[in-house]
Chains A and B, each alone.
Chain A
Amino acid sequence: MSDPRQYFTFADNGEPLQLDCGRSFGPVTLAYETWGRLNAEKSNVILILHAFSGDSHVASHDETDLEANGPGWWEAMVGPGKGIDTEKYFVLCSNILGSCSGSTGPSSINPDTGKPYGLDFPVVTIRDMVNAQKILLDFLGINSLYAVVGGSVGGMQVLQWCISYPEMVRTAIPLATTMRHSALCIAFNEVARQAIMTDPKWQQGKYPEDDPPELGLAVARMIGHITYLSDEAMHRKFGRRLQERDDLSFRFESDFQVESYLNYQGTKFVRRFDANSLLYITKASDYFDLNKEGDPTINRLAGTATRFLVISFTSDWLYPTYQSRELVQALKRNGCDVSFCEIHADCGHDAFLLPDDRLINLISGFLSGAASNE
């Protein structure tokens, strides 16, 4: 199996997807992967929602797949006998609308022009992504989700799922996420976007596939990486150690290990991610707001039967714990059944992706506990 992904295309002949920006859009392809077996009652589905730069490859499917496509982004959590046990649950993850790992996004070919959409691609929202996922689930005949789980931008989709399709979601685990971006988050995203858009190779988004704005995208990723780490983690990982040298160079080379690390992360990212997708997905996450003054969308969860487990990490300064607490408070005010745990971890926002027995036990215990309470 070289490509573990399956593809579902909709809105090609039939009804187009209605987007929040007002546009009708189609065709839409979603790339997705599944693990485990759907039970006869179709009651064991766990929908995993990936973060901003993620894809459908949550975990490897078998040894051959592991060799061919590498480990998934949540390999430690998802698999047979793991925290999200694929022997018990049917796990599904699709690449988000607007991304570039098999699903329709700005780098996809516009059937009207035969060229990539570029900036002709509509500005999509988190809700648009969720609506597209719902159409995929309809196609698969799934109308009940045992759990929706996701961190960061994936956590936003978790919350949007609970609001848009409350009757479908039995339990929800939003991790390291927020009801809305702070000015700090928007600021970092804007710097990342500017890095891309000021790269001369960007050309208003019309760059050729084989000559993308690599430098801009690499800088955007470097900025992202800083926000995913923490002061403690950077101190522990790099400190002020020098990279393959004994003394300062007195030139503008990578003197410090942290510089070399960021350069490496930036270059690596360019090979797998599309610059325009970064613009669209960061925009979608900036627009997301469940706590607007006046009529906060989060209040629509009043009376919902969904059980929530909110998890935050002490050193996450991108979506700090206070934002998870605000979410928990909003859920409590609306009488929702919510559990909350702040995990002590020094790895910053990235902590939700790293192997951690506390996180694994928490999630697996919550999932099986939710079953025993019914």
Chain B
Amino acid sequence: MSEDNGTKAMRFDLQVISSWIKPGSRVLDLGCGQGDLLHALQKEKQVHGVGIEADEEKAAFCISRGLSVLHENFNEDVLYYPHHHFDYCVLSQTLQQVYEPDKLIQRLLEIGTKIIVSFPNFSHWRVRMQLLCTGVAPKNDHLPYEWYNTPNIRVITIKDFKKFIRTINATVVKEAALNSRKNERFGRVIHFLPDWRATYGIFLLEDGASINSVPGPEE
């Protein structure tokens, strides 16, 4: 992982994602927010990045900082790109807001060679305990909303996601379970009981058909 300030200033999960991306590659970031990941990748890894962001102000901010960003909603706008146009499609903490995750991921596997997905792990022990002990919907640093105002229409656990990947004929190339608080720059990789202890899961996927392909140099 880069020790540069630019990367270090990012959310910890974005630092991990960044470390998985090969220099000079083409990256599509869905739900890119203010473009922190793309900006760091562009500066440090000479990546050709494209972002998609539904919020006008954030999209405009990205464009005015020199990023190529589309003010669009990827839930509604079909992703018009040539086959394998991108080396990586990134869904960082956006999967929980996607209407049709299976269709979206399959579409991303067409326009991108690999997909990186990160999401808050709903089976973290605190989440489980909150529901068990208090009986109300879990709320914490990385899931800070009430049930009635959350943009997150789905709850995902690391186990659920692994099961899901098998049904959509994708392959896991690499995975990491992380523990970090939202917006914190520091975190650690969890090896022991990840589905209980990780706050985030990150997966690098590719098309199931290319299961025997040689891993890229970034691995």
Listed in ascending order, the chain A residues whose CB lies under 8 Å from chain B are: 307, 309, 325, 328-329, 332-333, 335, 337-344, 358, 361-362, 364-366, 368-370, 372-373
Question: In chain B, what residue has the closest Cβ to A329?
Answer: B80
Which B residues are CB-close (under 8 A) to A364? Answer: 64
Q: Within the complex, what minimum Cβ distance (angstroms) separates B119 from chain A?
A: 26
Q: Are B85 and A335 in contact (CB under 8 A)?
A: yes
- Known A-B contacts A332-B81, A333-B81, A373-B42; the reply to A338 vs B60 at CB < 8 A is no
- Shortest Cβ distance from B49 into chain A, in angstroms? 10
Bound form: Cα–Cα A307–B50 in Å: 12
Docked CA distance A352–B71 (Å): 17
Contact yes or no, A342 B64, CB < 8 A? no
| B63 in the interface (beta carbon within 8 A) | yes
CB contact under 8 A between A328 and B70, given known A341-B56, A344-B56: yes
B80 and A333 contacting across the interface, CB-CB below 8 Å:
yes
CB atoms of B56 and A338 under 8 A apart: no
- Asked, given contacts A325-B77, A332-B81, A362-B63, whether A337 binds B68 with beta carbons under 8 Å apart, the answer is yes
Once bound together, how far apart are the Cα atoms of A307 and B67, in whole Å? 11
A176 to chain B, nearest CB (A): 15
Q: A307-B68, A332-B80, A373-B42 are in contact. Are A339 and B85 (CB under 8 A)?
A: no
Rounded to whole Å, the gap between the CB of A331 and the closest CB of chain B is 9
Is A333 a contact partner of B82 (Cβ separation < 8 A)?
yes
Cα-based distance from A89 to B64 in the complex (angstroms): 17
Tell me the bound Cα distance from A366 to B70 in angstroms.
13
For chain B, the count of residues having a C-beta within 8 Å of the partner chain is: 22
> Contact between A340 and B70 (Cβ–Cβ < 8 Å)?
yes
Q: Is the CB of B56 within 8 A of A366?
A: no
Considering the chains assembled together, what is the distance between the CA atoms of A361 and B77 in angstroms?
A: 26
| Residues of chain A with a CB closer than 8 A to B44's CB | none
Do most interface residues of chain B lie in helix, strand or loop, or is the interface mixed? mixed
CB-based contact B63/A369 at 8 Å = yes
- Are A365 and B82 CB-contacts (below 8 A) given A340-B70, A341-B71? no
Interface status of B217 (Cβ within 8 A of chain A): no
Question: Interface 1/0s, chain B 64-78, versus A by CB < 8 A?
Answer: 111111111000010
Contact B65 A365 (CB under 8 A): yes
Residues of A within 8 A of B59 (CB): 340-341
Given contacts A328-B70, A340-B70, A340-B71, contact A335 B82 (CB under 8 A): yes
Question: Could you list some 13 contacts between A and B, CB below 8 A?
Answer: A309-B63, A329-B80, A332-B79, A333-B81, A337-B50, A339-B69, A341-B60, A361-B60, A366-B63, A369-B65, A369-B66, A372-B66, A373-B42
Residues of A within 8 A of B56 (CB): 341-344
Interchain CA distance A339-B56 in the complex, whole Å: 12
Residue of A nearest to B64 (CB): A365
Complex: how many Å from CA A332 to CA B80? 6
CB distance from A230 to the nearest CB of B (A): 17
How far, in whole Å, are A373 and B59 apart by their CA atoms in the complex?
Answer: 18
Which B residues are CB-close (under 8 A) to A339?
A: 63, 67-70
